[in-house]
Amino acid sequence: MAQQEYNEDSIRSLDWKEHIRLRPGMYIGKMGNGSSPDDGVYILLKEVIDNSIDEFVMGNGKTIEVSVKNNRVSVRDYGRGIPLGKVIDCVSKINTGAKYDSKVFKKSVGLNGVGTKAANALSSYFCIRSIRDGKSKYVEFEKGNVVNDEDIQENSSRKGTKVSFIPDEELFGKYRFLNEYVEKMMWNYCYLNPGLTIIYNGEKFYSEKGLFDLLDQNTEAEMLYPIIHLKGEDIEVAITHCKNQYSEQYYSFVNGQHTVQGGTHQLSFREGLVKTIREYFGKNYDASDIRQAINAAISIKIIEPVFESQTKTKLGSTEMEPGGVTVRSYVNDFLKKDLDNYLHRNTDVAEIIEKKIKQAEHERKAMAGVKKLAKERAKKANLHNKKLRDCRIHYNDLKNEERYETTIFITEGDSASGSITKTRDIKTQAVFSLRGKPLNSFGLSKKVVYENEEFNLLQAALNIEQGIDELRYNKIVIATDADVDGMHIRLLLITFFLQFFPELVKEGHVYVLETPLFRVRNRKETFYCYSDEEKQEAMDKIGKNPEITRFKGLGEISPNEFKHFIGKDMRLEPVILGKESKIQQILGFFMGKNTLDRQKFIIENLRVEEDIEI
């Protein structure tokens, strides 16, 4: 093998935009096509809005207007506006911005000031207009290069800043913005900034009670007691427990950033809650019993936060400010004082909490034998050799940039799992093979997860017995045939996740793999088509006498062909709960015993395909 020469000519210096476009993962975590809530297009949107939020926090502008249409994003605030002579620098020069002045932006998320630069460099089109002091400055960019730099002009419009951009398809591929993900982002901004109004695509988003509203609007299970809402100078928490819920559900934030993977503040909250409850009742209750079925939100503000990745999904800071009190002691002391005071003033709530703890303790002890047998059974089943074809990198490996690409395919049958296994990326893609149809778990207790071998092994493979903090894969992809049996298995798996691990769906980890229905080809070209419309387009392109194959199942697709469907062009459909969707109502209708109602619905909504290929 020829040795590559290493000399002065090997050394390159990239300008700011070249480096961002060459190494986007360093700035936005990952690219993606918009099917996942942590995909790069949403990070770009968030980074631009964050600047407007900072203005609101400092008392400048109470309304932000956001528009996302045809992949063009626009964000207009009514803050102070960027100083006109620094507009270009602020969106195109690394290490330039006001966020380096900690007195001005004391508790901002984007302390490095890179956000708008990344949005600029990674967009095919980017423009910015700043209005202040009766004048305005307008600049347009393409892929980070200035293409139109207008002189400062008189402008009588309200002061503020407007940014518009179109993420570059050369980098992101054929992406899309999912409205549900953007709406969730808008609501979180409002929950964390009571009094802020966001107008998103004409719809108004507003919260008056902050985290109280977040829990009130996102907790669908019946609450055992009214939400406990506590606020301090740099901390806000909301707490309740729910009926018929098995997991813990947390919403955690730092300086307005949704830390979906928690961090030191969330760990401190969980610890402080247990300590406070134990001390109040004077009993050493098990931590898991105290936290079972809890729904809680915590938001803290700290100076110069340190996160474990550029996308800021997990807080790594141990101190509230450099050299100051620790996050752990700050959160613990707050709960010890304020939560303890609340319980002493509301003894009826305290009695409900203790009753719930004792019920959880009883259930845990009754389950101990079942869990032990389940673990022994999983060990005998030799999970990692027979059911699971694992990958080398995992989602809980926080040091690895490729963790966001980690995927587990849940397949049916040996042929389908075999094809995926042979063609997958062994670094980031794992395969779990189902045996037969899963059990309909609707209405069943958590005990069934351990008694049912398939569910027990799947839970072990995902590493979610104690919650999703140590989830091993970012994407859980249901890969079943596009026939009646495949749809049924898909529904049974979604039922399992919603019944026992709803946070997997709520946090955007569950997907359905789309595989082609048709292959259209001739000797020179091959097209894989996912609909009748795509099939017709392919036939028109090929012209005379195309060979058309209708795939009846995943097992019919060879490993060589499968590599096209689970690679960089993989089509995933996220499982999303609409804001008005109630899990128990959905599961009750589709998986319950309301046979007549469901039968009527099917008949009224039946679509008959006139041209079925045999």
Looking at residue 608, its pLDDT comes to 47
Which of 353, 257, 364 has its CA nearest to residue 300? 257
Show Cβ contacts of residue 590 under 8 Å, excluding neighbours closer than 6 positions: 491, 495, 598
Within a 10 A sphere around the Cβ of 432, how many other Cβ atoms?
A: 23
State residue 162 phi and psi, 5-degree precision: -125, 125
Q: What percent of the chain has pLDDT over 70?
A: 86
pTM for this entry: 0.84
Within a 10 A sphere around the Cβ of 142, how many other Cβ atoms?
A: 16
For 5-9, 231-235, 589-593, which range has the lowest pLDDT when averaged over its residues? 5-9
Could you report the per-residue pLDDT of 328-363, keeping only the tens digit for each? 999 999 999 999 999 999 999 999 999 999 999 998
Looking at residue 563, its pLDDT comes to 80
Could you report the per-residue pLDDT of 502-515, keeping only the tens digit for each? 889 888 899 999 88
Q: Does the structure show a pLDDT above 90 at 173?
A: no
pLDDT classification of 550: cutoffs 50, 70, 90? confident
Cite the DSSP H helix spans in 23-172.
25-28, 40-57, 87-92, 115-121, 169-172
Could you report the per-residue pLDDT of 291-312, keeping only the tens digit for each? 999 999 999 998 878 777 666 7
Q: Does the structure show a pLDDT above 70 at 588?
A: no
Token pair of 395 as six digits:
């989602």
* Within this chain, domains 16-206 and 211-362 share the same CATH topology: no
Q: What percent of the chain has pLDDT over 90?
A: 39
Looking at residue 385, its pLDDT comes to 54
Q: What is d(CA 515, CA 565) in angstroms, rounded to the nearest whole number?
A: 7
Specify which residues 388 forms β-bridges with.
432
Q: Does the structure show a pLDDT above 70 at 257?
A: yes
- So what's the architecture of 211-362 in CATH? 2-Layer Sandwich (3.30)
pLDDT classification of 565: cutoffs 50, 70, 90? confident
Q: Region 69-79: what's the mean pLDDT? A: 94
Could you report the per-residue pLDDT of 368-403, keeping only the tens digit for each? 777 777 777 666 655 555 688 899 999 888 777 788
pLDDT classification of 613: cutoffs 50, 70, 90? very low
- Strand (E) positions, 382-497? 388-389, 407-412, 429-434, 475-479
Q: Does the structure show a pLDDT above 90 at 487?
A: no
Looking at residue 210, its pLDDT comes to 94
Looking at residue 90, its pLDDT comes to 85
Looking at residue 21, its pLDDT comes to 83
The residues spanned by each domain of the chain are 16-206, 211-362, 381-515+552-582, 518-550
Q: What is the mean pLDDT of the chain?
A: 84
Q: What is d(CA 180, CA 182) in angstroms, rounded to the nearest whole number?
A: 6
- Does CATH place domain 381-515+552-582 in 3.40.50.670? yes
- So what's the architecture of 16-206 in CATH? 2-Layer Sandwich (3.30)
Q: What is d(CA 341, CA 452) in angstroms, rounded to the nearest whole number?
A: 44
Q: Does the structure show a pLDDT above 50 at 42?
A: yes
**Sheet of strand 429-434: strand arrangement:** 388-389, 429-434, 407-412, 475-479, 510-514, 571-574
Place of tokens 């934030």: 253
Specify which residues 142 forms β-bridges with.
145
